[in-house]
Structure 1
Amino acid sequence: MATPNAAPSERTRVRRLPERARYDAETLAAIVDAAWIAHVAFPLDGGVHSIPTAVWREGDHLYIHGAKASRMLKALTETECCVSLALLDGLVLARSAFHHSMNFRSVVVYGRFELVTEPAHKAAALAAFTDRVSPGRWATLRPMTDKEMGATTVLRLSLAEASAKVRTGGPKDDDEDLAWPTWAGVLPLSLQAGAPQAEPDSAVALPPPLPTSLAPSAG
């Protein structure tokens, strides 16, 4: 992964508001771990595509999966791509429209995906993804068949060439606007799970555990 204080490559260097850049491994990992969806941009058939897909991290790699027949997954092992993900933490309401903003955490990764072919590695990656969705769930499920495993592609992308950008705090109003008679501040935002909705024919009545980051609020 990136070193703490320097961009790992010129294309990952944050140019706009560089003080918000983060290049350390811990920040990158924390943001990827908090995200559920990433957008994967890649060239194919003379055009450029950007596809949202589920994402997870194991060690120094970001993982995705999908159907073996997926054109995107086939293309990603043959060409460079750019993966981006973002978390919205709040709406920043200033005293002028010009200074309105958002608090966010984002990551951009460049590179080429590699195919995970070793059976144990592939199974472990899918188990890690499943248990991320619901801790301990993989062990409770009907085991995947060889046919299902063969129909599923797992790819991973090194996080060696990645950068993060983070904004926190309140509005940055001009001094002459501070007395303007309108509300200013931050409206926090977060992703939370609702009450589980069981299938009528579910053999188990108790709902599954949820990731801590999706736990419903106490209120």
Structure 2
Amino acid sequence: MDRIETGMSAPHHPLRRRDRALDDAEALRLLEEAEWGVLATVDEAGWPYAVPVNHAVVDGALIIHCATAGHKLANLAFNPRVSYCAVTQAETLPLELATRYASVIVFGRAELLTDGEEKRAALRALGLRFAAGHADLVDREIGKDLFRTAVLRVRIERATGKARR
């Protein structure tokens, strides 16, 4: 995860609770372990749109699939900058009025994969993440649905992780 610090890079706000901060390696590991997260985009009028999706991490980037048209893609055509939040180990602690958790927030730019082989490889990585040991099934479904599936790659510009254990 490279922390890019240019004028147009992802925003940087220091964590208020530094005692709960995760280092980059822990944050990436948490992202790899999380089964799903929430992708946030913004439309032309400035309205945010956040949608739960599942993901895979491939070569340090998030891979997300979706339909070939819709709210998410319309927003990304206007502005490719996104935020993605994943939470694991969530457990409420009623007697403490608190929650135990580990979370990561990613900032990056989403791009639509258009190369057929690159798209197929990304979908395969995503499919095998959730259906390990069923490569034949994953390959069959990709062959059947590739034409009606869009694949996004989010290149991570910055990520912050935090945990209350």
Please provide the CA RMSD for this pair. 2.5
AA of the residue aligned to 1:162 = A
Q: Distance in 1 between matches of 2:92 and 2:150?
A: 38
Q: Indicate the residue corresponding to 1:116 in structure 2.
A: 113
Aligned residues of 1:66 and 1:152 also touching (Cα < 8 A):
yes
Give the TM-score taking structure 2 as reference length.
0.82
Q: Indicate the residue corresponding to 2:149 in structure 1.
A: 152
Q: Distance in 1 between matches of 2:125 and 2:10?
A: 32
Task: Describe the shift of the 1:12–1:104 C-alpha distance in structure 2 as closer, same or farther (beyond 3 A).
Answer: farther
Q: Indicate the residue corresponding to 1:19 in structure 2.
A: 19
AA of the residue aligned to 1:132 = R
Within a 5 Å distance, the mapping from 1:41-190 to structure 2 comes to 41-46=40-45, 47-79=47-79, 80-94=81-95, 99-141=96-138, 142=140, 144-145=142-143, 148-168=145-165
Task: Describe the shift of the 1:123–1:52 C-alpha distance in structure 2 as closer, same or farther (beyond 3 A).
Answer: same
Q: Distance in 2 between matches of 1:77 and 1:38?
A: 21
Give the number of equivalent residue pairs.
159
Task: Describe the shift of the 1:87–1:77 C-alpha distance in structure 2 as closer, same or farther (beyond 3 A).
Answer: farther
CA deviation string 1:143-183 (max 9, x = no partner)? 644x7312111001122311111111xxxxxxxxxxxxxxx
- Alpha-carbon distance, 1:39 to partner: 1.0
Q: Choose between structure 1 and 2 for higher RCO, CA contacts under 8 A separated by at least 6 residues.
A: 2
Q: Distance in 1 between matches of 2:69 and 2:10?
A: 34
Unaligned segments of structure 1, at least 5 residues: 169-219
Aligned residues of 2:27 and 2:161 also touching (Cα < 8 A):
yes
Q: SS of the residue aligned with 1:113?
A: strand
Q: SS of the residue aligned with 2:151?
A: strand
- Alpha-carbon distance, 1:10 to partner: 7.7
Higher helix proportion: 2
Q: Distance in 2 between matches of 1:10 and 1:126?
A: 26
- Alpha-carbon distance, 1:118 to partner: 1.7
Q: Distance in 1 between matches of 2:84 and 2:23?
A: 16
Q: SS of the residue aligned with 2:78?
A: coil
Q: SS of the residue aligned with 1:64?
A: strand
Unaligned segments of structure 2, at least 5 residues: none
Task: Describe the shift of the 1:48–1:89 C-alpha distance in structure 2 as closer, same or farther (beyond 3 A).
Answer: closer
Task: Describe the shift of the 1:66–1:83 C-alpha distance in structure 2 as closer, same or farther (beyond 3 A).
Answer: same
CA deviation string 1:121-161 (max 9, x = no partner)? 1111111111111213232453644x731211100112231
